[in-house]
Structure formats: C-alpha cells, structure tokens
C-alpha cells in the first residue's frame, strides 16, 4: 500500500522569528477558561499579561522564548533602583 502524498500549502514559513510567549499565554488562558474561571478573573489575567507581551515584543524583539529571556530578566535595573 502506497503512503499518502503530502501536499504543501501556500504561505508556509515566512522566516520571521516566532515569539513563543504568545503561545504560552494562549495555553494558559484556554486552560483557565476550561477551569471555569470567572470572566473577571480572565480579564484580570489579560490586563496583566497582554501589555507585558506587547512591551516585550516592542522593546526586546530578540526575546522569543524563555531561554532567550535570561539576559533581559537578569539585567541590572539601573542606578536608583531600590528593592524593598
């Protein structure tokens, strides 16, 4: 029996770097929807996460996944930063 042929669809990979943080957000969001979180809780999560993801894309487009975020997360905040 012959194997079925694969068909290549137009519009494949664009070669554009792919940000996996958005996938993580979608996974988290749909999981919480499945857990029957209240609409207010889901909106709160969106309010917190989406602006961060938009900032990350705008300010650090080189960060596409968790391993590549290490230099950003571990970078010094700068003079005048105080904790506590």
Quote the radius of gyration of the chain (alpha carbons, Å): 19
C-beta of residue 24 within 8 angstroms of C-beta of residue 53: no
Number of domains in the chain: 1
Range of the domain at 60: 20-73
Q: pTM for this structure?
A: 0.61
For the segment 27-65, what is each residue's pLDDT rounded down to a tens digit?
999 999 888 889 999 999 999 999 988 988 888 888 887
* DSSP single-letter state for residue 79: T
In a domain, 44, yes or no: yes
In a domain, 42, yes or no: yes
- % of the chain beyond a pLDDT of 90: 24
Find tokens 């770097």 and name the residue. Answer: 17
3-class SS string, 21-60: HHHHHHHHHHHHHHCCCCHHHHHHHHHHHHHHHHHHHHHC
């Amino acid at each position: 029996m012959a194997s079925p042929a694969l068909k290549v669809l137009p519009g494949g990979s664009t070669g554009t770097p792919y940000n996996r943080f958005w996938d993580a957000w979608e996974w988290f969001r749909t999981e919480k929807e499945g857990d029957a979180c209240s609409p207010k809780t889901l909106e709160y999560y969106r309010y917190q996460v989406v602006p961060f993801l938009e900032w990350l894309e705008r300010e650090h487009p080189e960060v596409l996944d968790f391993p590549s975020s290490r230099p950003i997360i571990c970078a010094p905040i700068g003079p005048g930063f105080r904790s506590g």
